[in-house]
Structure 1
């Protein structure tokens, strides 16, 4: 019997509505497998915790989370209670950085039954590999002076180690898919960092002769995600560019509410973290409107990470079958509740 220990953080807002159903689905799949067991340890970290304790997590929170095999996160943030830069840097980004989760992976694909906002989505199926630890989201910089003289300086940081690591991961992933990798760049406008990115991409690509490559500027690439997403297989991008592209990917699927993601630690020293792309959506809390599929598809990525790809495929088929029957929440054109969508997916896991 294989036991996977999950640190469960529902977090804020609709995280408390979508996480429980995803855990029930993981338990159902473990029963189907027969040789898998999940152990859940729940943590109440989030904005309400901050209001009570002055921090987004306990002082020993990272140490406690490190005892798990993976972190399963719901949502972070409630700007009405805690400023976003405090909530995100105090929990989500803190976990990513402390656990060296240097790769972020987010898929986007067409689902039968969901009306994509694209007139002709052409069955796109792509993966974005995002460097998750540095780049434009470094904290190097500061603000100085006051009033009309105030200035802000933000420096991006690109290391060859982290850049190469993201690109190797993208090429290895493409080898199991359609063998195409696209690099997101902006070397015609960002003078130092992006030519460096291009040089590393060229160097890494020389070790993968069977993988076809393209390099596209982020503005044109963003437009192509809307006009021709079927062209892409695996896209590798810096922290900021990857963030932008994956939100576009979620939008062309039909809703950010169905988009999953994985924050991966590759050196084996710390747990990886799995979370949906959506936020905490405080405006719909308690109304049964939250789309549970982002969290549930995230559970599929967790299963794949631990080598249970058949269970992951079974779960994805159950999601697809649910959509085909028209069982979906209002954000993607349906009228079903959070619990009804979750129950339908559970029922299909036989």
Structure 2
């Protein structure tokens, strides 16, 4: 049996509800495929911040370094600004462990209706640069509170950072349908985006089997809505990738089902897996949270650990529940509770494993 040490950070709101649900599913599939997941729960969250003034302890990164992977729920709490939670927990983890790939599948699952009319199959992946770009700390504010106040935010694009995320995207496209699109805005952003384009074209010469295309971010956003079937893999900077992936979640039916992986592809450090959705304080504690995004993130974790068969079984169970049953939460038009969806997933998973 393969054993992995997993740090769980349920976080706030519905994160504390969907993480245990996903753990049940992952433990069930693990028992069937010889995978032991040794969980350690960490209470780091915005509520923790409200008590201590920190999102995680001073030795938090050192603590996480002792685990194989990180399983995150959702972070966000009324009264704690979003930039505090992001820069106090998620971004330090992503950077300390060189999780430079944010991988987000955009797949329309069976049984889900897209808000797009007459949409064909949607099945592509966005590779978002996760460590630099527009989300840098370079900059500041001067003359606060005066008529002369100035705010400066610098974007930082390094050749190493851009090359490594693009190489990952090229390799991923080569393993899929062989098409890679780049998100740019080189007509308006005069330095960083032409640099991004240059690196993209240089690497294209090293990957002759991959068909490439370049789109300005505004046109690309429109095509996500008008013609999503044309895409296979999309590579984007930190900001552009962040926006595109939320749009991607919307066109596959609900942000509540979308997963995300923060990857250190080399495996030198732990990677982190989380749903795209937030902590949803408006429904926290009501038992109505959709666990599918967290479960899908767990499947991505299994795949990253080298257990593609177990990941496929989980996603097979998810597809069965969505396509063959009426059990779904309110965000998908149903009335089921988190508990009811989880129970149905476990039943479907047993059936999926038995059929293999």
Aligned counterparts of 1:5 and 1:243: Cα–Cα separation in 2 = 29
* 2:27 matched residue in structure 1: 27
1:147 CA drift (Å)? 2.4
* 2:43 matched residue in structure 1: 44
* 1:311 matched residue in structure 2: 310
Aligned counterparts of 1:241 and 1:308: Cα–Cα separation in 2 = 31
| Alignment of 1:330 onto 2:330 | yes
Aligned length: 348
* 1:85 matched residue in structure 2: 83
Aligned counterparts of 1:132 and 1:244: Cα–Cα separation in 2 = 13
* 1:286 matched residue in structure 2: 285
SS in 2 for 1:284: coil
Describe how 1:119-158 pairs up with structure 2 within 5 A. 119-145=117-143, 146-158=145-157
Aligned counterparts of 1:267 and 1:178: Cα–Cα separation in 2 = 23
SS in 1 for 2:25: helix
The 8 Å contact of residues 288 and 329 in structure 2, kept in 1 or not, is answered as yes
Aligned counterparts of 1:120 and 1:5: Cα–Cα separation in 2 = 44
The 8 Å contact of residues 110 and 121 in structure 1, kept in 2 or not, is answered as no
1:268 CA drift (Å)? 3.0
Match of 1:102 among 71, 78, 100: 100
Q: TM-score of the superposition, structure 2-length normalised?
A: 0.96
Q: Following superposition, which runs of at least 4 residues in structure 1 exceed 3 angstroms of deviation?
A: none
Aligned counterparts of 1:228 and 1:341: Cα–Cα separation in 2 = 32
Aligned counterparts of 2:266 and 2:322: Cα–Cα separation in 1 = 37
Aligned counterparts of 1:174 and 1:329: Cα–Cα separation in 2 = 33
Aligned counterparts of 1:336 and 1:246: Cα–Cα separation in 2 = 27
In structure 2, list runs of 5 or more residues that go unmatched: 351-356
The 8 Å contact of residues 173 and 233 in structure 2, kept in 1 or not, is answered as yes
Deviations 1:164-218 (A, max 9, x none): 1111101111111111000000001100000000000000111111110100000
Deviations 1:10-29 (A, max 9, x none): 00110000000111111101
* 2:258 matched residue in structure 1: 259
The 8 Å contact of residues 5 and 69 in structure 2, kept in 1 or not, is answered as yes
The 8 Å contact of residues 118 and 226 in structure 1, kept in 2 or not, is answered as yes
Describe how 1:56-67 pairs up with structure 2 within 5 A. 56-67=55-66
Q: RMSD across aligned C-alpha pairs, in angstroms?
A: 0.9
SS in 2 for 1:349: helix
- Greater shift, 21-30 or 260-269, is seen at 260-269
Aligned counterparts of 1:118 and 1:135: Cα–Cα separation in 2 = 31
Deviations 1:36-68 (A, max 9, x none): 211001100001111111111112111111100
